[in-house]
Amino acid sequence: MTAFPSIAAFEMALANLPPPDAASRAAAGHRQDMLTKPPGSLGRLEEIAIFMAGWQGRTRPRLDKGRAVVLAGNHGVATRGVSAFPASVTAQMVANFDAGGAAINALAAAAGLDLRIVAIDLDRPTMDFTQGPAMDAADCLAALNIGAAAVDADLDLLVLGEMGIANSTAAAALCAASFGGSAAEWAGPGTGVQGTALANKIAVIDAALAVHRPAATSPFDILCRLGGREIAAIVGAIVAARHAGVPVLLDGFICCSALAPFIGAHPDIADHCLAGHCSTEPGHARLLERLRLEPLLSLNLRLGEGSGAAVAAGIVRAALAAHDGMATFAEAGVATA
Ligand SMILES: Cc1cc2ncn([C@H]3O[C@H](COP(=O)(O)O)[C@@H](O)[C@H]3O)c2cc1C
Ligand SMILES: O=C(O)c1cccnc1
């Protein structure tokens, strides 16, 4: 079944984002206060358990079925010298994911997550967005649906990641178009461009902004013009997860940039999402502020692939283990304050 048969259907899904289950949240909060610890002493672990309870609709949320999904796409703007690596690396890394040799393979396994790799039309890069929209509406909608199809309603947690050479350029362009500011305020080294190469990357983004900022007509149109298929697929997965009651763990700058066009019109779009980490890509901290997400970790990661989100899944697992496994004051015969 296609999640979003039309752009109107996608926009309806955005306009009707379900809230968390208030009763499960309240019951989980009550349970936290009964557990053998001073109230609040497990800090964000308590908040994570309550967050998971609300979105799963369970007083004792679980993490038996966690899935990491890496969406991959190729970018026409890669021909502009904006990445330290050639565009061929996208497909080569997808082969590496499939063979089990990438960071995300090791980190997803360590976190007890299943891993799904979804490569989207790698032999058909998007258009160089300095010349016109990266995608037409049909192409973008198809990518949204590919992301949505990676979500199943029985998942306990969805961990999102991406692979696509030059997609840190697209991410910076999406942020600047959505929030304002020049390219220099949002662009960073990505895979490692510095000096004149970074100046070129910034000039490429500013050229794209000059074309698309005045022309963009909607958040979806910003995504079409400046995004990429893997970024659109991340949006589709996030919105589908919301409607399926599946909480989401976001990765770095590129993963989070998928939400940039939509947060203004739909301020609650990221309410079922946790930010796994804050990347060293300079725009990420600023983007997380705009999304009102506080990252769980700050480990100086700048990889993508879902790597930081997969590491953070271990924190979620710890939060749920404490929530489920601890005794209450009454059970343990411990005196309350
Ligand atoms: C070997 C390799 C593995 C990666 N895994 C993730 N990325 C990351 O780097 C890319 C973004 O940086 P830029 O915009 O500078 O191209 C994305 O593919 C991202 O996932 C990788 C990059 C490389 C080279
Ligand atoms: O923050 C990220 O996700 C990131 C940063 C650099 C390169 N790839 C991904």
Beta carbon of 161 within 6 Å of any ligand 2 atom: no
**Domains of the chain by residue range:** 64-319
CA 285 – CA 291 distance, rounded (Å): 10
What pLDDT is stored for residue 94 in this prediction?
Answer: 99
Residue numbers annotated as active site = 305
DSSP state string for 105-154:
HHHHHHTT-EEEEEE--TTSPPP-TTTS-SS-HHHHHHHHHHHHTT--TT
Query: Residues 6 or more apart from 123 whose CB is under 8 A from it?
Result: 74, 91
Beta-bridge partner residues of 142: none
CA 298 – CA 304 distance, rounded (Å): 14
- Enter the tokens of residue 320: 């749920």
- Take atom 6 of ligand 2 and give the residue whose Cα is closest: 190
- Take atom 24 of ligand 1 and give the residue whose Cα is closest: 85
**Rg of the chain over all Cα atoms, to the nearest angstrom:** 20
What pLDDT is stored for residue 245 in this prediction?
Answer: 98
Pocket test for ligand 2, best of 85, 104, 278, 281 (most atoms within 8 A of CB): 281
CA 178 – CA 260 distance, rounded (Å): 6
Beta carbon of 188 within 6 Å of any ligand 2 atom: no
Phi-psi domain of 305 (left: phi exceeds 0; alpha: psi -120 through 50; beta: other): left
pTM (2 d.p.) = 0.99
Residue 255 CA: nearest ligand 2 atom is 3
Task: Give the distance from CA 253 to its chain's centroid.
Answer: 8
Find the angle CA(111)-CA(116)-CA(120) to the nearest 5 degrees: 140
Is residue 275 within 8 Å of 296, Cβ to Cβ? yes
Position 289, amino acid: E
Beta carbon of 306 within 6 Å of any ligand 2 atom: no
Beta carbon of 251 within 6 Å of any ligand 2 atom: yes
Task: Calculate how far, in angstroms, residue 153's C-alpha sits from the geometric centre of ligand 1.
Answer: 30
Output the ligand 1 site: residues, CB below 6 A: 83-85, 89, 93, 162-169, 190-191, 303-305
Task: Calculate how far, in angstroms, residue 108's C-alpha sits from the geometric centre of ligand 1.
Answer: 18
Beta carbon of 145 within 6 Å of any ligand 2 atom: no
Beta carbon of 190 within 6 Å of any ligand 2 atom: yes
Of residues 62, 56, 231, the one with CA closest to residue 140: 231
- Take atom 3 of ligand 1 and give the residue whose Cα is closest: 93
CA 323 – CA 46 distance, rounded (Å): 7
- Take atom 3 of ligand 2 and give the residue whose Cα is closest: 252
Helices 43-56 and 22-34: crossing angle in degrees, nearest 10, is 150
Of residues 283, 284, 262, the one with CA closest to residue 271: 262
Q: Which ligand sits closest to the CA of 250?
A: 2
DSSP state string for 83-103:
SSS-THHHHHHHHHHHHT-SH
What pLDDT is stored for residue 1 in this prediction?
Answer: 77
What pLDDT is stored for residue 256 in this prediction?
Answer: 99
* pLDDT tens across the length of the chain (337 residues): 799 999 999 999 999 999 999 999 999 999 999 999 999 999 999 999 999 999 999 999 999 999 999 999 999 999 999 999 999 999 999 999 999 999 999 999 999 999 999 999 999 999 999 999 999 999 999 999 999 999 999 999 999 999 999 999 999 999 999 999 999 999 999 999 999 999 999 999 999 999 999 999 999 999 999 999 999 999 999 999 999 999 999 999 999 999 999 999 999 999 999 999 999 999 999 999 999 999 999 999 999 999 999 999 999 999 999 999 999 999 999 999 8
DSSP state string for 211-244:
HHTTT--SHHHHHHHH--HHHHHHHHHHHHHHHH
CA 261 – CA 219 distance, rounded (Å): 5
Q: ipTM surpassing 0.90, yes or no?
A: yes
- Take atom 7 of ligand 2 and give the residue whose Cα is closest: 190
CA 121 – CA 90 distance, rounded (Å): 11
Half-sphere exposure for 6 (CA within 13 Å, toward CB): 3
CATH placement of domain 64-319: 3.40.50.10210
